[in-house]
Structure 1
Amino acid sequence: MTDGADKGVPVNVMSGRNHSEDEPQKRHVEQNHSQANDMINWVLKPYVLESYRQLAESLKTQQRIMGFMRREISAFIADQQAALERSLASIGEIRTSAQELRGLTQAVEEIVKAIESVPRIQMPSVQVPKGVLDAITLSSRFHELMLGSIAGLSSSYYPAEEKPVPSKASDHPLIKRLKEVAPGPKTWSDYEKLCQDILSFCLVPPLLEPLCEESTEGGLHRRDAIYHIPHDASGFWEYVKRAYNALAVIVEAKNYTGKLPKDQVVITSKYLGSKKLGNFGIIICRDGLDDSGKKEQLDRWLHHDEMIVCLTDGDLEEMVGLKLAGHDPEHVIDRKIRELRSAL
């Protein structure tokens, strides 16, 4: 026989072909593979390098954002701790707030960890991680809750021993008009308008100009005046805003000849509520509340968190006197709040 086996040439048993015949084809395949790889590298390499560059920039941006948030949250925690320490020095009732702060601090630390585990920012635009946005929202909400909890524990804004002396106000035109208006239904609208003028003289600003004779939805009830509390209010009105969840002060003037009964307090309470303009209202009347009215006033606060302050003609005159003397007329309202909460 004269085949490859006789000549000592290796034979592929399965195909019946010898290896020498396969070598050119093998080299040709390898050459095609090499050319294909070179082509892929030549086409894709710039895109790969650009992708790596954008990824590196995005990671640096994310690190800067996380570093900024950590600094902001740390500063925020330090500010809240300092504010709490100052509050604890003057308000014994909020000692437990320190434990609440530590718990919230741990929650903020968990948020920081969550920020660090947020997936990489998508390329090529910068997408702020949801965890960062949640941290911003939580820090703002935490600030609101802390102010509200501290304010709600205090029975008043001004110290009880702080008693500014008002100037004589009996000769002031507003007070002269007040004394000229007789009690009773015939002068009801005159009394309402005059009470609004006195409150505006004493409280605007910082309160905004009143919206007068506002109807509730459906027209079933009419509020004499609404004094909105500015968003950036400070001092006494920030305390009212935080402690009583109040966006505005609801005012009702009632020109009764005697003391106000329970049903008049109930009517005013219908304008209050956490889903309305808040839980703070003022009733102005000639001679205060009778026993049933005082009981209803206490019940509205105790069971519904509604603070309804009752001002008399004498209180209005005192407020005008404080205004003339350069003091805060809000001292009178604050004293009424303290008296009501101390009666429980």
Structure 2
Amino acid sequence: MDDGPRDMRGREFELLVETALFSILDIESVEREPRLRADVRPDLVAHLRNGRTAIIEVKLVTPATSVRLDQAADTLRHYREAYVGVFGMSDPAPQLVLVVSGVLAPERISDLLELGVDIVIDGPALRQAAPELPWPDPVAGKRRGTTDAVVFRNAQLIEKLRQVAPGRADWPAHQRTVQDILAAVLSPPLALPLSEHPNRSRVNRRDIIFPNYADHGVWKFLRDHYQAHYVVVDTKNYVGSIKKNDILQTANYLNAHGAGLFGIITCRNSGDRSADVTRREQWIVHRKLIIVLNDDDLKQMVSFASDGSDPAIVVRQKVEDFRLGF
């Protein structure tokens, strides 16, 4: 289950990036994987014509979650610390540059800049700077039917999400908007969603359910390994973070004889510590896997869809982040 572009290997992509960066960053010379310490070797260190130095991290698989953005920024800061330890502090300090193969939503780029990354270069910027190079999936969007009309529709959906105010008053509008966004980016391969669907006793009424009949890719994997037969989505339009009780409510909707054991909570921000602990408990004790998608996650999924990439990359990385966090 590969979420990287076509079959390109990281080294091949890195060489393409190196070629494109000569024009993007106005590079004079570049070092590949210089050894700064025994265990510290950045992908590239570039010496620019303006006299500055750039430390460059190249990622074939685009980091799509906040956890992975934090990790990428932390890695670059670690490289700069090691570089300064070898060559001393320059004025100005070496620039930190992250290069990824896919598209990053503007909010993700802003997050990286706030985390101390100086320059972010994603797939569209690479293709624009060096269109003659054999970039991974340069026409992926056309093959997936990503027309200008679809891109415009996706932009409208994100604008609609921005206009929904957090809080109880706009709760119905938030649920409709989230359903429209997820339907636009996930159906197909998921079937069109069922809204406000009750169970037989009518005790539980699930906000959104996506039947999962996918025969390949992320969703088939989630059905086969996490019983995601029906993807239950619970929407929360809170001003603040979701909490323990919200996780328990979603967990109550999940069972092996019904919808399955995989659920998604969408919220405006994130979960607090009690929510994180409860998600872990639900997985350990009941094998119920619940991931949380906030506004920025939804925007990244839309960005992927508009560029022709698979929006389920965000879901896959959320699951990976959760499992590897144990």
> Per the shorter chain, which TM-score range?
0.5 to 0.7
Q: TM-score, normalised by structure 1?
A: 0.52
Verify: 1:212 aligned to 2:111, yes or no: no
Tell me the secondary structure at the aligned position of residue 310 of structure 1: strand
Paired amino acid for 2:232: I
CA–CA distance in 1 between the matches of 2:106 and 2:310?
15
Cα shift at 1:166? 2.1
Aligned to 1:37: none
Pair 161,300 (structure 1): closer, same or farther in 2 beyond 3 Å:
farther
Cα shift at 1:219? 1.6
Paired amino acid for 2:215: A
Choose between structure 1 and 2: higher helix proportion. 1
Verify: 1:197 aligned to 2:96, yes or no: no
CA–CA distance in 2 between the matches of 1:174 and 1:279?
29
CA–CA distance in 1 between the matches of 2:272 and 2:170?
22
* Equivalent of 1:240 in 195, 219, 222: 222
CA–CA distance in 1 between the matches of 2:189 and 2:166?
30
Cα shift at 1:218? 1.8
CA–CA distance in 2 between the matches of 1:252 and 1:332?
17
Tell me the secondary structure at the aligned position of residue 181 of structure 2: helix
CA–CA distance in 1 between the matches of 2:313 and 2:322?
14
Alignment of structure 1 residues 1-344 onto 2, 5 Å: 162-163=61-62, 164-166=101-103, 168=105, 172-230=155-213, 233-344=215-326
The answer as to whether partners of 2:170 and 2:237 remain within 8 angstroms in 1 is: yes
The alignment yields a C-alpha RMSD, in angstroms, of 1.7
Cα shift at 1:340? 0.7
Please list every run of at least 4 consecutive aligned residues from structure 1 whose deviation after the TM superposition is greater than 3 angstroms.
Answer: 167-171
Please say which structure displays the higher CA radius of gyration.
Answer: 1
CA–CA distance in 1 between the matches of 2:106 and 2:190?
22
Structure 1 regions of 5+ residues with no counterpart?
A: 1-159
Cα shift at 1:161? 6.0
Cα shift at 1:167? 5.7
Identity, in percent, stands at 33
Paired amino acid for 2:317: R
Tell me the secondary structure at the aligned position of residue 257 of structure 1: coil
The answer as to whether partners of 1:167 and 1:324 remain within 8 angstroms in 2 is: no
The answer as to whether partners of 1:167 and 1:325 remain within 8 angstroms in 2 is: no
Q: TM-score, normalised by structure 2?
A: 0.54
Encode CA deviations 1:142-192: one digit per residue, 9 max, x unaligned: xxxxxxxxxxxxxxxxxx962252265788111111111000000000000
The answer as to whether partners of 2:61 and 2:102 remain within 8 angstroms in 1 is: no
Structure 2 regions of 5+ residues with no counterpart?
A: 1-58, 63-100, 108-151
CA–CA distance in 1 between the matches of 2:208 and 2:173?
14
CA–CA distance in 1 between the matches of 2:240 and 2:282?
22
Tell me the secondary structure at the aligned position of residue 323 of structure 1: helix
CA–CA distance in 1 between the matches of 2:263 and 2:272?
18
Pair 268,168 (structure 1): closer, same or farther in 2 beyond 3 Å:
closer
Tell me the secondary structure at the aligned position of residue 223 of structure 1: strand
Encode CA deviations 1:109-145: one digit per residue, 9 max, x unaligned: xxxxxxxxxxxxxxxxxxxxxxxxxxxxxxxxxxxxx
CA–CA distance in 2 between the matches of 1:167 and 1:312?
15
CA–CA distance in 1 between the matches of 2:231 and 2:288?
12
CA–CA distance in 2 between the matches of 1:268 and 1:328?
26
Encode CA deviations 1:232-258: one digit per residue, 9 max, x unaligned: 521111100111122110011110110
Encode CA deviations 1:195-225: one digit per residue, 9 max, x unaligned: 0000001100000001100012222221011
Choose between structure 1 and 2: higher strand proportion. 2
Encode CA deviations 1:246-301: one digit per residue, 9 max, x unaligned: 21100111101100010000000011111112111100000110000010011111
CA–CA distance in 2 between the matches of 1:218 and 1:174?
34
